[in-house]
Structure formats: C-alpha cells, structure tokens
Amino acid sequence: MTTPSRPVDAAIPDDVSQPLDQSLDQALEPTPAPAPPPMAPGIRNGGAFAFLSVLRHRNYRLFFAGQLVSLMGTWITNVAQGWLVYQLTSSPLMLGVVTFAGQVPVFFFSLFGGMISDRFERRRLLLITQALAMAQSAALAVLTLTGLIQVWHIVALALFQGLVNAFDVPIRQSMTVEMVGKADLRHAISLNSMMFNLARVTGPAVGGLLIALVGVGWCFSIDALSYAAVLTGLSLMRFPPLPARVHAQALAAIRAGLAYAWGQRPIRASLLLIAACSCFGAAYMSLLPAFARDVLHQGSEGLGFLYSAVGMGALLGAYTLARVPDRHLFVTPVVAAFGFGLMLVLFSWSGIFWLSLGLLFPAAFFLMLLGGSTNSIVQLLSREDMRGRVVALYAMGMMGMMPWGSLMLGGVAEHLGSHWAVSIGGSVCILAALLAWRDRQGGWARG
C-alpha cells in the first residue's frame, strides 16, 4: 500500500484561475512507495491494459475478488426486486417508491458516513456494513420463500439497505486510495467500475432466467450467500495503523467538510452537474420494469437483457475512463452529460425492443463516464483528511439524488406514461450539460 506524503489539496490554490490541468498534474505527483511486484508486458508503459497494474496491490486483489462475487448477487437481486414489486402492484409509482426508499438515506446520512470514514479504520467499518447488507438480503429471501412477502416489507427493507449504503459507499470509496495509493487511484476507480458493470451485464440476465426458472426468492438467497466472498476478502486485508488525528465534534466536522467542498470550485462544479443528471436522468433505471412490460411488451427475460445492455455500455465507459488523458478529465463530465441526456430522449420514444437495447448501451456508456470522471476529480483534488466527507457529497449527488428523481419520474409515468417521464429527464440532462459548458471558465472543463 502507498500513502500520500502530503495532502492532495496542497497542490491546489484557493485561486482557481490556475489551469486545472496543472493542478491535476501536481495532485498526481508520485509519492515514495516500496517497489511493487513486476507488471506483465501488456500492462507496462500505459498500454491498453495499464489499469490492471492496480492488481499488484494485495489488499486491492482481495477487495476485487470479493466484490466481484458479491456484486453479481446484488444485480440478481435488483432485477428480482423490481420484478416482484411490479408483480405485486402493477404500479410504476411503486417502483419509484421502492427506489426512493432504497436511496434516500444516502442523501440524508452519507455525510455522517463520510465523517465516520475520516475517523475510524475503514476496513472494520466495511465488515460491519457488508454483514448488515447480507442480513437484509437474507430477510428478503425468507419472506419471499415463505410466501409472506408484501410490498411494505420490500419498502422497509429497501430503506434499511439504503441506510447501510449511506455509510458503506463513502467508506468503501475512500478506502480505495489506501489500497492502491494516489498514483494508481484513477486506474482503481476505472477497474472498480468495470467490476461493477461486469456484474451488471451478467447479473440481471442470470436474474431474469432465475426468476423464470425458480422464482425471486432464490435470487435473494443467492445474493445473501454472495456476501461471504467480500467478508472473507475484507477479513484477510492488512493495513498499517492509522495516524493519530484530532477529531472535531460530529456536526462541526460535517460543516467543515461542506465548507471545504464548496470552497474548491472544480469540486463544487463537478458535484452540481452529477447531482442534476442523477436526479433527472439516472432515475430512468427505476422505470425499466414498466418499460419492459408496458412499452416493449417483454417478460422478465427481456427486462434482464435491458439491464445487461446498460451494464455493457457502462463497462465500455469504465474502460474508456481509464484511457482519458489527464488534460481532458475536466471536460469529460460535460460531454458525457450531454450524450447521456440525448440517448435517454431517443430511448424514450424508440418503442422497439432491439432498438431500445441499442440506445441503452450508449446511454449507460455516457453515464459511466460522467460518474467515473466526477469520482476521479473529487478524490484526486480532495485533501486526505477531508476525502471521506467529499466522497460522501459525491455519493449524495450520484446516489442520493436518484430517489427524488425516481419518485418524481414515477409520478410523471403514472399520469403521462413512462416514455414521457424518461424523455423529460433526458432533456434536463442536456440542459444541465449546456449550462455547464457555458460555465467552463468556472473550472468544469479546462484542459
């Protein structure tokens, strides 16, 4: 493991008139570290697979293996839960309500998660959050297999999982730099995204088939069992002792994090764009079950393929993120937000299953570029002692805004139809990107 010799933010002046690409170059200055194991020829010298260099870090290898298994189960559950809710209610609004319940705690509590992440050993914290997530999936499985499941159970358990995620996401994201060091952070974020979306490609398709073959209850059971892999990986990790830190009171620490993020103009600008696109655009995922059945006239297998198209596009986006030159990092969110919104508008009016699959692919590609580049920006430019809280703000923007959008778009879909809801959301993303482009002198896209 490598650790920064000085805070990243020391390289970033308060006067953001300094070119952002120069600030980023300073933030990426290498720090002393033990010589890593030799890399394979295809990984050396910034080749097409340079991002795989992060696998030479033992802690990251353990993290990667455990998460890959666990995320497969998570995506199986995602498609099963959406299908079950729509079977029980036939209501697009209820799809939005369940998504809202599962994500709104991130909006309200992730700053507390970030504050805790900056205070305690992150590995131990993750062991707790992942064990709680396992218990939530097990409860869903038991209720479904015994025939006792009702929609209020799903809402309550989604709310519980959202509360767990409010702490898990900032802790897990902030631990990345501890596993790989600052110099490899961009590659680790890209590989994390590839891992997430590889599971997204395969998990929903497997989930759709499992629903048809054995029912949703067994999907939840598989998810619960998959957490054993990540818990094992976390248990085997080893980190050096944490340095002693002076801790402010909780609310004072949160206020300090907010003030720090708002005072760093490129961080603030990036967070505002991701929040707008997540609220109005990314919430389209909650309406996919309604799209599959009512607009595209597909069953659970078709829904699984829609989710998989999203995963394939995002997987390519994650690979592309690893290849984006540093000098273009700050323009990437703006371009990606525009492309994402445009693809959503086209998807909303396609009406043909295979065309819809083709449009979801680039939509997910652009959304992945938007989220991954924003994540890279906020982590690279954040001071070490503020990273957990700044990443928590990213989680609020990326995940915490989705429930409000899901609830709103679910209501629009209930009255006007799912296609209108997604079209309106995509149009807002296009508008946000155009406004961001106009404001590029403020620090979004210098490079």
pLDDT, tens digit, 9 for 90 and up, residues 205-225:
788 888 888 888 999 999 999
Which class does domain 12-29+49-442 fall in?
Answer: mainly alpha
- pLDDT value, residue 132: 95
- Cut 0.75: pTM above it: no
d(CA 59, CA 72): 20
Residues of the chain short of pLDDT 50, as ranges, are 1-45, 442-447
d(CA 50, CA 38): 13
d(CA 31, CA 181): 8
Question: Residue 305 corresponds to which tokens in the numbers above?
Answer: 């393929």
Amino acid present at 113: G
Residue 372 near residue 192, CB atoms below 8 Å: no
320 SS3 class: helix
Report how far Cα 212 is from the mean position of its chain's Cα atoms.
28
416 SS3 class: helix
- pLDDT value, residue 243: 60
Cα–Cα–Cα angle for 171, 189, 55, rounded to 5 degrees: 100
Task: Write the CB contacts of 404 (distance below 8 Å, at least 6 apart in sequence).
Answer: 100, 104, 107, 279
- pLDDT value, residue 443: 46
Question: Residue 62 corresponds to which tokens in the numbers above?
Answer: 């353990």
Amino acid present at 437: W
pLDDT, tens digit, 9 for 90 and up, residues 280-311:
888 788 788 888 888 888 887 788 788 878 87
pLDDT, tens digit, 9 for 90 and up, residues 46-70:
555 666 777 888 888 898 889 888 9
